């Protein structure tokens, strides 16, 4: 097509398909996560699994980490084996099956089966649906950035509505029906799949159907053999480890945390040493390292909004609002709500500042400062009132608000910075590389979750919030140096 399409708010019709597919996928993911943490640690008599609370908080983070880590595999499979469109479809099917497994009342083993399905499914779907957004615009089309902003709205609209809908069904005034909530997540993913399948041919055309860098037949055989051997070895180690009592949950957490650091480090080494990487690209990669570390610190705090702060909402917060008892799951709607409300404000601010807007490293520094502040704010209620009295929900609202100020400095610019700073030969992996900042962050969160309790709460929030602010100040100071390594990029 030589005439640019304008079928969806002045954007290509394909954006409609991608917007609603991702809207429903995020609806299912965040609806599930809004109640999962409570499902894990609530007593069996309250409809939960009765797990230890620290363990539940760790599992939430490990789970989140694996979801973003598996994006490497999903991105690679799309690039080399079956194309992004099929990856999105297979991913959606696995995710739906995962939610169905949770919807069936039953055992901890169904719960772990569902985790595997959702980890692999999201790894297939999320990075790929996002990269098709880039594919529906030609390289000269200046609507692309606006397209990503609209898409980000879809993500957050799903994330906003899901906790309200799933939370009110699953946790209604003291009587819990978590499995009904998980069924709604499954239905959400089903609707997303139907939208995708019914409209992709008409709206997306060839976008996402081409395998960019297909494996040659001889490579195929070699790589699938390696895959098969790896799966068998991992399965054997897991079975033997569990049988002999060596592979306990804390050991597993340590392994994933180690991978959360090892994978990005290996990625950087491979990219830096590749003969396809030019000297200018090497300089850009060096500039990217501090930004990567800052993003890890940022997501570590942001993602604790659905673990530590979710626990805080449940046990430390006054849940009676205007005479109604609200579900603690509702607090999960605040982050996406503030993103939706404030994203246009920030976009307008950057346009208004034009050439005077902060550099990319300085925007990251602001991200860290706000993230740190959001944790210092939530330390105040116990400072003033002790850790035994229930606090006003407004403290949490304020904390979620402040972290979003940081998110809007860092997240929208983060993906585009990754696109600009990663070497061209690795462009197919850019989305996964950016999601690794979140994977590493949540791996670290799983390690530190056991340090949180009502008694340690002030020190916990103070140390982590303080660390983020210190890192933010350092980043602010060295920003000009980082910018000098970014060749040809503003
Ligand atoms: O287009 C070029 C592209 O094919 C090259 O791709 C890469 O260079 C990817 C480099 C990835 C390095 C990964 C390092 C360690 C892998 C550890 C695997 C653990 C997986 C979920 C656990
Ligand atoms: N909360 C956003 C989402 O779910 C951003 C996550 C990220 O790490 N970029 O897409």
Q: Is the CB of 155 under 6 A from ligand 2?
A: yes
pLDDT tops 80 at residue 7: no
- What pairs with residue 8 in β-bridges? 11
Stretch among 95-99, 214-218, 229-233 having the lowest mean pLDDT: 214-218
Q: Assess contact for 115 and 138: CB atoms under 8 A.
A: no
Tokens found for residue 92: 């959606």
Tell me, what's the pLDDT at 9?
Answer: 79
DSSP tag of 142: T
CA of 202 to the centre of ligand 2 (A): 28
Q: Which ligand is nearest to the CA of 129?
A: 2
Which residue out of 159, 163, 297, 441 has the highest number of ligand 2 atoms within 8 Å of its CB and is therefore the one to mutate? 159
Cα–Cα distances in Å, from 477 out to 217, 374, 464, 472?
A: 51, 21, 20, 9
User: Among residues of the chain, what percentage have pLDDT more than 90?
Assistant: 73
Q: Which residue has the higher pLDDT, 431 or 287?
A: 287
CA of 149 to the centre of ligand 2 (A): 13
Mean pLDDT of 295-305: 98
pLDDT tops 80 at residue 96: yes
Q: Which tens digits make up the pLDDT trace of 22-37?
A: 999 999 999 999 999 9
Distance CA 91, CA 212 (A): 19
CA of 189 to the centre of ligand 2 (A): 17
CA of 105 to the centre of ligand 2 (A): 29
Which residue out of 438, 439, 441, 442 has the highest number of ligand 2 atoms within 8 Å of its CB and is therefore the one to mutate? 438
Distance CA 345, CA 53 (A): 38
Tell me, what's the pLDDT at 250?
Answer: 87
Tokens found for residue 393: 């929900």
Tell me, what's the pLDDT at 389?
Answer: 80
Cα–Cα distances in Å, from 297 out to 65, 301, 304, 307, 367?
A: 14, 7, 11, 16, 10
pLDDT tops 60 at residue 253: yes
CB atoms within 10 A of CB 487: 14
Nearest residue (CA) to ligand 1, atom 8: 270
Tell me, what's the pLDDT at 490?
Answer: 57
Q: Which ligand is nearest to the CA of 424?
A: 1
User: Among residues of the chain, what percentage have pLDDT more than 70?
Assistant: 98
Report the mean per-residue pLDDT for the chain: 92
Q: What band does 157 get if pLDDT is binned at 50, 70 and 90?
A: very high
Q: Is the CB of 482 under 6 A from ligand 2?
A: no
CA of 170 to the centre of ligand 1 (A): 39
Tell me, what's the pLDDT at 3?
Answer: 57
Helix, strand, coil shares of the chain, percent, nearest 5, are 80, 0, 20
Mean pLDDT of 254-273: 93
Q: Residue 128's Cα: distance from chain center in Å?
A: 14
Q: Which ligand is nearest to the CA of 425?
A: 1
CA of 152 to the centre of ligand 2 (A): 9
Distance CA 329, CA 48 (A): 14
Angle of helix 249-273 relative to helix 279-303, nearest 10 degrees, comes to 160
Cα–Cα distances in Å, from 71 out to 81, 134, 312, 434?
A: 15, 17, 30, 10
Q: What band does 1 get if pLDDT is binned at 50, 70 and 90?
A: very low
Q: Which ligand is nearest to the CA of 404?
A: 2
Q: Assess contact for 61 and 33: CB atoms under 8 A.
A: no
Stretch among 84-98, 109-123, 196-210 having the lowest mean pLDDT: 196-210
Mean pLDDT of 426-454: 92
pLDDT tops 80 at residue 4: no
Nearest residue (CA) to ligand 2, atom 5: 411
* 3-state class (DSSP) for residue 216: coil
Q: What band does 418 get if pLDDT is binned at 50, 70 and 90?
A: confident
Q: Is the CB of 439 under 6 A from ligand 1?
A: no
Q: Which residue has the higher pLDDT, 291 or 207?
A: 291
Q: Please tell me the total number of residues recorded for the chain in this structure.
A: 490
Cα–Cα distances in Å, from 115 out to 6, 67, 98, 120?
A: 39, 9, 7, 9
Tell me, what's the pLDDT at 109?
Answer: 84
DSSP tag of 317: B
Q: Which ligand is nearest to the CA of 267?
A: 1
Mean pLDDT of 459-477: 98
Q: Which tens digits make up the pLDDT trace of 100-130?
A: 999 998 778 888 899 999 999 999 999 999 8
Nearest residue (CA) to ligand 1, atom 16: 263
Tokens 């879809």 correspond to 154
Residue 295 gets the label, from left (phi > 0), alpha (psi -120 to 50) or beta, of: alpha
Q: Which ligand is nearest to the CA of 75?
A: 1
CA of 304 to the centre of ligand 2 (A): 13
Which residue out of 285, 429, 436, 439 has the highest number of ligand 1 atoms within 8 Å of its CB and is therefore the one to mutate? 429
pLDDT tops 80 at residue 55: yes
Distance CA 29, CA 397 (A): 22
CB atoms within 10 A of CB 175: 8
End-to-end CA distance of the chain: 32
Strand segments (E) across 135-241: 171-172, 175-176
Tokens found for residue 383: 């400072």
Mean pLDDT of 287-307: 97
Q: Residue 225's Cα: distance from chain center in Å?
A: 31
pLDDT tops 80 at residue 412: yes
CA of 72 to the centre of ligand 1 (A): 7
* 3-state class (DSSP) for residue 212: coil
Residues contacting residue 197 through CB under 8 Å, at least 6 positions apart = 89
Q: What band does 2 get if pLDDT is binned at 50, 70 and 90?
A: very low
Stretch among 173-177, 217-221, 263-267, 273-277 having the lowest mean pLDDT: 173-177
Cα–Cα distances in Å, from 295 out to 288, 360, 468?
A: 10, 12, 10
Mean pLDDT of 417-427: 85
CA of 196 to the centre of ligand 2 (A): 20
Residues contacting residue 238 through CB under 8 Å, at least 6 positions apart = 247
Q: State the ipTM, two decimals.
A: 0.56
Write down the number of H helices and E strands in the chain: 17, 4
CA of 388 to the centre of ligand 2 (A): 33
């Amino acid at each position: 097509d030589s005439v640019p399409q304008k079928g969806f708010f002045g954007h290509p019709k394909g954006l409609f398909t991608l917007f609603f597919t991702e809207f429903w996928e995020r609806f299912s993911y965040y609806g599930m996560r809004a109640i999962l943490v409570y499902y894990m640690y609530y007593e069996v008599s309250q409809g939960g699994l009765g797990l230890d609370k620290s363990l539940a908080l760790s599992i939430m983070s490990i789970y989140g980490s694996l979801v973003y880590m598996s994006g490497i595999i999903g991105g690679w499979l799309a690039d080399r084996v079956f194309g992004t469109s099929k990856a999105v479809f297979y991913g959606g099917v696995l995710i739906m099956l995962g939610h169905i497994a949770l919807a069936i009342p039953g055992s901890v083993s169904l719960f772990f089966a569902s985790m595997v399905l959702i980890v692999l499914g999201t790894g297939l779907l999320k990075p790929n649906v996002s990269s098709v957004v880039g594919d529906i615009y030609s390289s000269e089309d200046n609507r692309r950035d606006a397209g990503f902003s609209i898409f980000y709205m879809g993500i957050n609209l799903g994330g906003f509505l899901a906790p309200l809908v799933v939370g009110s069904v699953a946790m209604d005034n003291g009587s819990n029906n978590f499995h009904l909530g998980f069924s709604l997540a499954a239905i959400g993913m089903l609707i997303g799949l139907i939208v995708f399948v019914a409209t992709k041919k008409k709206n997306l055309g060839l976008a996402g159907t081409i395998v960019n860098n297909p494996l040659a037949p001889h490579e195929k055989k070699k790589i699938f053999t390696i895959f098969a051997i790896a799966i068998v070895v991992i399965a054997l180690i897991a079975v033997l480890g569990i049988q002999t009592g060596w592979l306990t949950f804390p050991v597993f957490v340590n392994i994933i945390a180690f991978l959360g650091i090892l994978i990005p480090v290996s990625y950087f080494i491979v990219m830096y040493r590749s003969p396809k990487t030019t000297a200018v690209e090497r300089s850009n990669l060096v500039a990217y390292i501090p930004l990567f570390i800052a993003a890890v610190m940022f997501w570590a705090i942001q993602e604790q909004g659905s673990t530590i702060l979710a626990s805080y909402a449940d046990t430390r917060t006054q849940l009676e609002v205007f005479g109604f008892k609200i579900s603690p799951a509702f607090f999960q709607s605040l982050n996406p709500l503030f993103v939706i409300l404030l994203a246009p404000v920030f976009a307008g601010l950057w346009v208004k500042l034009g050439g005077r807007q902060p550099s990319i490293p300085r925007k990251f520094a602001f991200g860290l400062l706000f993230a740190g502040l959001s944790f210092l704010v939530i330390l105040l209620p116990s400072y003033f009132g002790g850790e035994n009295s229930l606090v006003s929900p407004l403290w949490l609202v304020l904390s979620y608000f402040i972290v979003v100020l940081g998110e809007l400095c860092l997240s929208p610019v983060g993906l585009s910075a990754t696109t600009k700073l990663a070497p061209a030969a690795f462009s197919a992996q850019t989305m996964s590389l950016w999601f690794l900042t979140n994977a590493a962050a949540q791996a670290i969160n799983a390690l530190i979750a056991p340090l949180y309790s009502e008694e340690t709460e002030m020190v916990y929030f103070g140390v982590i919030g303080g660390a983020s602010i210190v890192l933010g100040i350092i980043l602010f100071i060295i920003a000009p140096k980082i910018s000098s390594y970014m060749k040809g990029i503003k």
